[in-house]
Amino acid sequence: MQTISKESSVVEDRLVILGSKGGPSLRSTERMPTSNLLEMGGKICVIDCGLGVTSRLVEAGIKLAEIDYIFVTHLHSDHILELGPLIHTAWTTNLNKKIVIFGPKGIKEYLNHFFQSLSFDINLRVEDEGRPDLKDLVDIRVYKEGLVLNKVLKVTALKVPHPPVEECYALKMENDGWKVTFGADTSYFPPLMDFARGSNILVHEAMLVSAIEELIRRTNMAKRLEAHLFASHTPVEDVGRIASGADVKLLILNHLVPVGLQSFDEKEWLDEITRTWNGELRIAHDGLEIRRHKN
């Protein structure tokens, strides 16, 4: 994990990949499941909340009580498992303004169940410590395809195919000429080209096809897992096709599947992506930071 200097007092547009691993399993803390930080237009945004997001945000110099927006692309556990704990920890770190949470259908039920599960602690701290009720500090908004937000930031959603999940959304975030697109979890989906066209950064999931055979040998659900991966995720070569068709300035391969296999390293990822993409590239790791260079 790259250590990031703590500069939360300085407002500067930046993207930080907090968790770069695809899937919910955890065998090492070097790569955590999916989460991202985007500071844009003076707003602190978290995109997805996989396990580890809270500590990664602190490592990135973020004061949790200052988070403005949280966006959830879909309800798979590696994107939402730590949403509740994140807002609870922000609350215990003197949160005194509303955090706006955008998510697909089901997001309200998730958070209501979380509040219920911690009702003893929340109610006790309200009474004993004089804190405001956490539920009153959370503004939950369900979104669909189209315009999600147009206040300082412009945020647009595109529904992408990620079976069997019915609602999964790519997100495009824009402010003052800087455009960052998160492809979310998706199979190869050419409409993403138009959606992400001209983005300064495209963050797109990636599956290393040459490593899948070794991955499925490690599980007792091999056939089901293999079918899911190829139906629901994007091979590296196809990610390059999306980025090339969208004419993006920087492509970041993220939500990497698989990672942690000793016989596969960065060279294999590069061998596959350079068949279809010859532009600027980063292979994500936890702590990867891209700052906006303003003229």
pLDDT band at 4 (very low <50, low <70, confident <90, very high): very low
Residue 15, strand partner residues? 38, 290
Per-domain residue ranges of the chain? 14-291
- pLDDT score of 75 more than 80: yes
Asked if pLDDT for residue 71 goes beyond 50, the answer is yes
Range 74-95 average pLDDT: 97
- Burial-class residue 172 by CB neighbours within 10 Å (0-12, 13-18, 19+): buried
pLDDT by residue (tens digit) across 16-35? 999 999 988 888 888 999 99
pLDDT of residue 2: 42
Residue 242 has pLDDT above 50, yes or no: yes
pLDDT in tens, 163-177: 999 999 999 999 999
Q: Which of 70, 69, 75 is nearest to 106 (CA)?
A: 75
Task: Please give the share of the chain, as a percent, with pLDDT higher than 70.
Answer: 91
List the single range of 5-9, 126-130, 197-201, 232-236 with lowest mean pLDDT.
5-9
Residue 274, pLDDT > 60, answer yes
Q: What pLDDT band is residue 263 in, cutting at 50, 70 and 90?
A: low
Average pLDDT over residues 120-129: 96
Predicted pLDDT at 229:
86
pLDDT at 5: 41
| Order of all β-strands in the sheet with 280-283 | 146-151, 153-159, 169-175, 178-182, 201-207, 250-257, 280-283
C-alpha distances (whole Å) from 19 to each of 22, 32, 34, 293 are 9, 5, 4, 23
The pairing of strands 153-159 and 169-175 is: antiparallel
CATH number for 14-291: choose from 3.40.47.10, 1.25.40.10, 3.40.50.970, 3.60.15.10: 3.60.15.10
What is the C-alpha separation between 45 and 40, in angstroms, rounded? 8
Share of the chain above pLDDT 90, in %: 79
**β strands within the chain, DSSP E:** 14-19, 35-40, 43-49, 69-71, 99-103, 138-142, 146-151, 153-159, 169-175, 178-182, 201-207, 250-257, 280-283, 289-291
Contact call for residues 134 and 114 (beta carbons, < 8 A): no
pLDDT of 8 strictly over 50: no
**Is 80 exceeded by the pLDDT of residue 159?**
yes
Which residue in 148, 121, 142, 153 sits closest to 45, CA to CA?
A: 153
* Mean pLDDT, range 227-246, rounded to an integer: 94
